[in-house]
Structure 1
């Protein structure tokens, strides 16, 4: 799948019903389905979550796989990169990575995932709380 059409895996305020979903994704979505990112831990921000790779057995993050309408894709990508402070040089609050996620139906799909970036390191050291459920809505 070409990178320009990858869906997004969202796990915090960008999920359906979240304040940033309303601000940045409403009207742009072609499909939204439950999904899981295996091999990652969800950290409580505070205020918003961070996804961090984690090889602890059973670690996973619960979220949604969002497919954006083709005509809205460029705008959505730019808006989400701005929101997540995802910088081209990799120094932002988040970094965007292409990772496999698993839908509730068991299908594995490649998706863009925003992971904690270098600028989040201090926040994670100061507030290292892992959300054990892996679900921002169940913290």
Structure 2
């Protein structure tokens, strides 16, 4: 990804509207928020937040596509990397930030940053994790 390209973020857990980190990290820093979904992924339960694990045979994960205000983008990107314990190339990462295509409700496609479970975390979850059925963290939390 070339430097200077500013992609929106696909959020699916605690950064979604109504969730605790939305207000802490995104309030006043987003220009637009729109419901979206990512195909080919599964959500797993984490300790108070979900992990997204890519799975070509998986279902869909529901979330929001967040477009940051241009003036807030660089700081938001850095803050989200810290929140998600994501440092490029660090084997201790909980998440890796990758570019994926998401689909908006009207069927339009958009490229976005997505935080996916880092390889060692994904392997552990595939072996013994609890899947969040339906791929929707907000619905899962509402049931619990």
Provide the TM-score with structure 2 as the length reference: 0.88
* 3-state SS of 1:50 partner: strand
* Alignment of 1:67 onto 2:92: no
The residue aligned with 2:76 is 76
Superposition pairs of residues 25-104 of structure 1, within 5 angstroms: 25-56=26-57, 59-91=59-91, 92-104=93-105
* 3-state SS of 2:28 partner: coil
CA deviation after TM superposition for structure 1 residue 56, in Å: 2.0
Provide the TM-score with structure 1 as the length reference: 0.91
Show structure 1 runs of 4+ deviating over 4 A.
none
* Alignment of 1:135 onto 2:127: no
Q: Distance in 2 between matches of 1:9 and 1:95?
A: 13
Q: Distance in 2 between matches of 1:127 and 1:68?
A: 35
Q: Distance in 1 between matches of 2:31 and 2:67?
A: 5
CA deviation after TM superposition for structure 1 residue 55, in Å: 2.0
* 3-state SS of 2:134 partner: coil
Structure 2 unaligned spans of 5+: none
- Contact 1:45–1:124 (8 Å) recurs in 2: no
CA deviation after TM superposition for structure 1 residue 29, in Å: 0.4
Q: Distance in 2 between matches of 1:94 and 1:121?
A: 9
How many pairs does the alignment contain? 138
Superposition pairs of residues 105-124 of structure 1, within 5 angstroms: 105-118=106-119, 120-121=121-122, 124=125
* 3-state SS of 1:34 partner: strand
Q: Distance in 2 between matches of 1:39 and 1:48?
A: 20
Q: CA RMSD in A?
A: 2.0
Structure 1 unaligned spans of 5+: none
